[in-house]
């Protein structure tokens, strides 16, 4: 028995480090690394059964060619040579700008997520893609205020004494942060959860503040109003490290708590109390995550929320300030230019927004005539699923999907190419939830004829007749290129060290407080408090036909679309359900446990009705991911900044 080190590359902030026991070339056990300071020996409900996924009987192990109508999921096995020759010939016959590489974070590994594929399609002049459906919204908002989206080291949360989880269900989506929060609570920290839904995490909080969806900016402005009115602002910090405070004070006059009680659904007394507690308890940490960025006004919300820790000077103390993601910080230490080689991309190509896939497939001009998909399953994860289906059914669209399974998207493909799982290929995995880089050794040989994303890019380049050496760099070379950086935080972090140890923490100062002494990354070096591009933002209103706001939060047993084909996960997650407030259920004659129809102009779904006060009146909640097709009901509604998607600004009606 040998044990191989690896790391989870799912789209999750925790980036767990794992160990795989191998016997006779077969993986027998996969488990969390007990020595890793963040993983602490545990994985999660999804990945505890990762080997079932690796050895699942439905794995695609050979190239498959469509043998039935589009969408029928009927395929026949073909050789790699036949598939590659046909794909190359089809791609050579269309203008490059009509070919779209559509990929995201199905693997978050450094080179398997984005490396040779970007070099190949970029240098062909293929259509570009804004991969902004998540994250970029928040980054865009935070950057206006802070100049950068950086936050504190999440391990420092143990020093916090007032922790505000704002729009994040930590226990379900960021499990490995929870022990740090608990440690802080054992030392006396108070935990507040701001969320329209009483999530598992909210149930564990000292105080749950169930605000109305998308009203976060209004709540934040009222809190700032209280701080200014009552002299709770850290004026010394503000005078030294910000600009625009005077104008902000004027602007905040319009937002006393009583003025936002209706829009937020939170009483003026509670807003006053929240504001005073937050200001009085130090160190205080604001922890926002995905919830806010899925609203149309997400950029404005992040811009506005980022002012809270600044006005309180919360960045001064260890454990104080804000933490959203360590992703951009990690990438800033790496040599991404060397890895991605943007200098070889053809300039001036059109760039499409991945959130608009349905419309673009149906009506872009010039049309998309070929779609190459890897590391994403847009039929599950992108809004307006029915429109995407309509586009994928086009007879003149040539679709190639590289995946482990015949996913909901792959079922519409002309070719499905077999992809490796994380234990079958080499990579380094960055994290957006902690400060460790993790090495992923292949633990077993690729199953069947599966190949990694990088190997597929090399094969496609060869089939297309390309000969540039940078299209054929080995995986090890690619990783070494990414690590070839003189950033001081990579000191001592080498390919060899990472490979031997499995993970290494960025070489940051032991007590790192990014904005304790100002140094914001804005042009002026000061936080931007000017009352521009702040406010409640545009809160999308319900209409008469569809009065209930639909929140589609992540579910415990699925990781976006992954695990939606696995028996165990399906059994544990159960059939699709919709949670609705008792008053809303009563007015519609709905019964708990009965089948209902959830519908709007985009589509309709059958679900089991759960009547509960976990949701506010006027809000319904359905789980997202896996086999749940809730994106039948979400609109292609762009966010204010950052090119994201207003998933949570969907409105529906629920019928018996
Ligand atoms: S999905 Fe997240 S919590 Fe689960 S093993 Fe992977 S990194 Fe860890």
Last residue of a domain, one of 487, 502, 532: 487
**Which pairing describes strands 527-528 and 548-551: parallel, antiparallel, or unpaired?**
unpaired
- Distance (angstroms) between ligand 1 centre and the Cα of 536 equals 34
Is pLDDT at 381 greater than 90 in this prediction? yes
In a shared domain, residues 128 and 140: no
pLDDT of residue 635: 86
In a shared domain, residues 334 and 428: yes
Please state whether the predicted TM-score (pTM) of the whole model is above 0.85: yes
The answer to whether residue 44 sits within a structural domain is no
Task: Work out the pLDDT band at 455, boundaries 50, 70, 90.
Answer: very high
First to last CA, the chain: 56
In a shared domain, residues 111 and 150: no
Q: Which residues constitute the domain of residue 334?
A: 64-132+330-487
The helix/strand/coil state of 293 is helix
In a shared domain, residues 423 and 555: no
| Mean pLDDT taken over the chain | 96
The answer to whether residue 57 sits within a structural domain is no
Last residue of a domain, one of 301, 324, 347: 324
pLDDT of residue 642: 83
- Distance (angstroms) between ligand 1 centre and the Cα of 359 equals 33
Last residue of a domain, one of 439, 455, 487: 487
Q: What is the CATH number of the domain that holds 643?
A: 2.40.40.20
From 181-185, 385-389, 547-551, 563-567, the region with the lowest mean pLDDT: 563-567
The answer to whether residue 512 sits within a structural domain is no
CA dihedral 118, 122, 124, 127 (to 10 degrees): 110
Residues belonging to the chain = 656
Is pLDDT at 204 greater than 90 in this prediction? yes
The answer to whether residue 125 sits within a structural domain is yes
In a shared domain, residues 174 and 280: yes
In a shared domain, residues 370 and 280: no
488-536 pLDDT tens trace: 999 999 999 999 999 999 999 999 999 999 999 999 999 999 999 888 8
Is pLDDT at 262 greater than 90 in this prediction? yes
Ligand 1: residue of 6, 9, 11, 12 to mutate (most ligand atoms within 8 A of CB) is 12
11-27 pLDDT tens trace: 999 999 999 999 999 99
- Distance (angstroms) between ligand 1 centre and the Cα of 556 equals 11
- Closest protein CA for atom 4 of ligand 1: 44
In a shared domain, residues 168 and 293: yes
CA pair distance 368, 270, nearest whole angstrom: 52
Give the number of domains in the chain. 3
- Distance (angstroms) between ligand 1 centre and the Cα of 565 equals 18
- What are the backbone dihedrals phi and psi of residue 340, each rounded to the nearest 5 degrees, phi first? -90, -25
The answer to whether residue 557 sits within a structural domain is yes
pLDDT of residue 538: 83
- Cα 224 to Cα 217, 254, 289, 306, 320: the distances in Å are 11, 11, 21, 11, 17
Residues with CB under 6 A from ligand 1: 8, 10, 12, 14-16, 43-44, 46-47, 175-176, 559
pLDDT of residue 72: 93
- Distance (angstroms) between ligand 1 centre and the Cα of 160 equals 24
In a shared domain, residues 601 and 643: yes
- Cα 49 to Cα 19, 223, 314, 460, 569: the distances in Å are 13, 44, 41, 32, 9
In a shared domain, residues 340 and 294: no
Residue pair 282/320 in contact by the 8 Å Cβ criterion: yes
CA pair distance 367, 224, nearest whole angstrom: 49
Query: Hey, what are 347's tokens?
Result: 């300039």
The answer to whether residue 46 sits within a structural domain is no
- Distance (angstroms) between ligand 1 centre and the Cα of 572 equals 18
Q: Which atom of ligand 1 is nearest to the CA of 175?
A: 3
When pLDDT is averaged across residues 23-52 and rounded to a whole number, the result is 97
Q: What is the CATH number of the domain that holds 404?
A: 3.40.50.740
Task: Work out the pLDDT band at 134, boundaries 50, 70, 90.
Answer: confident
- Closest protein CA for atom 8 of ligand 1: 16
With vertex at residue 603, the alpha carbon angle to CA 601 and CA 609, rounded to the nearest 5 degrees, is 110
In a shared domain, residues 292 and 341: no
The answer to whether residue 387 sits within a structural domain is yes
Q: What is the CATH number of the domain that holds 181?
A: 3.40.228.10
The answer to whether residue 50 sits within a structural domain is no
In a shared domain, residues 259 and 275: yes
In a shared domain, residues 459 and 312: no
């Amino acid at each position: 028995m040998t044990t191989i080190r690896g790391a989870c590359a799912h789209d999750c902030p925790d980036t767990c480090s794992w160990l795989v026991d191998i016997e006779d070339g077969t993986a027998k056990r996969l488990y969390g690394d007990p020595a890793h300071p963040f993983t602490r020996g545990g994985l999660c409900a999804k990945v505890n059964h990762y080997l079932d996924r690796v050895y699942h009987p439905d794995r695609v192990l050979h190239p498959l060619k469509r043998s039935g109508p589009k969408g029928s999921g009927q395929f026949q096995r073909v050789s790699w040579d036949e598939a590659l020759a046909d794909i190359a010939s089809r791609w050579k016959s269309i203008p490059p700008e009509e070919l779209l590489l559509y990929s995201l974070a199905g693997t978050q590994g450094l080179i398997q997520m984005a490396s040779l594929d970007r070099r190949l399609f970029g240098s062909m002049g293929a259509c570009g893609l804004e991969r902004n459906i998540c994250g970029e919204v928040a980054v865009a908002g935070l950057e206006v205020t802070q100049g950068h989206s950086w936050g504190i080291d999440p391990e420092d949360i143990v020093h916090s004494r007032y922790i505000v989880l704002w729009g994040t269900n930590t226990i379900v989506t960021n499990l490995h942060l929870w022990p740090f929060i608990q440690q802080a609570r054992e030392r006396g920290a108070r935990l507040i959860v701001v969320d329209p839904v009483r999530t598992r995490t909210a149930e564990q909080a000292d105080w749950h503040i169930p605000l109305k969806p998308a009203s976060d900016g209004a709540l934040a402005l009222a809190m700032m109003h209280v701080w200014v009115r009552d002299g709770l602002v850290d004026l010394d910090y503000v005078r030294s490290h910000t600009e625009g405070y005077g104008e902000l004070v004027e602007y905040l006059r319009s937002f006393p708590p009583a003025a936002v009680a209706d829009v937020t659904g939170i009483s003026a007394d509670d807003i006053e109390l929240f504001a005073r507690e937050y200001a009085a308890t130090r160190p205080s940490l604001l922890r926002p995550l995905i919830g806010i960025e899925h609203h149309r006004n997400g950029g404005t919300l992040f811009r506005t929320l980022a002012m809270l820790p600044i006005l309180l000077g919360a960045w001064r103390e260890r454990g104080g300030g804000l933490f959203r993601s360590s992703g951009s910080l990690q990438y800033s230490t790496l040599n991404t230019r060397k890895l991605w080689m943007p200098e070889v991309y053809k300039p001036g190509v059109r760039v499409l927004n991945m959130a608009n896939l349905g419309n673009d497939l149906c009506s872009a001009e010039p049309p998309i005539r070929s779609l190459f998909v890897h590391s994403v399953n847009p039929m599950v994860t992108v809004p307006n699923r029915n429109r995407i289906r309509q586009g994928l059914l086009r007879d003149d669209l040539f679709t190639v999907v590289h995946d482990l399974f015949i996913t909901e998207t792959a079922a519409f493909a002309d070719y499905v190419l077999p992809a490796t799982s994380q234990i079958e290929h080499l990579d380094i995995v960055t994290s957006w939830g902690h400060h460790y880089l993790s090495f992923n050794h292949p633990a077993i040989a690729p199953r069947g004829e599966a190949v990694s994303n990088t190997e597929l890019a090399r094969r496609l380049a060869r089939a297309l007749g390309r000969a540039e050496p940078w299209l054929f760099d080995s995986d090890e070379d690619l990783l070494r290129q990414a690590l070839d950086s003189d950033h001081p935080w990579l000191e001592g972090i080498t390919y060899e060290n990472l490979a031997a140890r499995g993970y290494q923490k960025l070489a940051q100062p032991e007590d790192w407080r990014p904005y304790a002494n100002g140094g914001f990354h804005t042009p002026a070096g000061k936080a931007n408090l000017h009352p521009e591009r702040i406010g409640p933002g545009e809160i999308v209103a319900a209409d008469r036909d569809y009065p209930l706001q639909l929140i589609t939060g992540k579910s415990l047993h699925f990781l976006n679309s992954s695990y939606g084909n696995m028996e165990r996960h399906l059994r544990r997650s159960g059939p699709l359900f919709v949670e609705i407030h008792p008053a809303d259920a009563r007015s519609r004659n709905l019964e708990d446990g009965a089948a209902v129809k959830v519908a709007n102009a985009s589509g309709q779904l059958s679900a089991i009705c759960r009547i509960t006060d976990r949701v506010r009146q006027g809000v319904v909640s359905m789980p997202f991911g896996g086999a749940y097709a809730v994106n039948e009901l979400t609109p292609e509604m762009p966010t204010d900044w950052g090119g994201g998607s207003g998933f949570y600004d969907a409105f529906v009606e629920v019928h018996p």
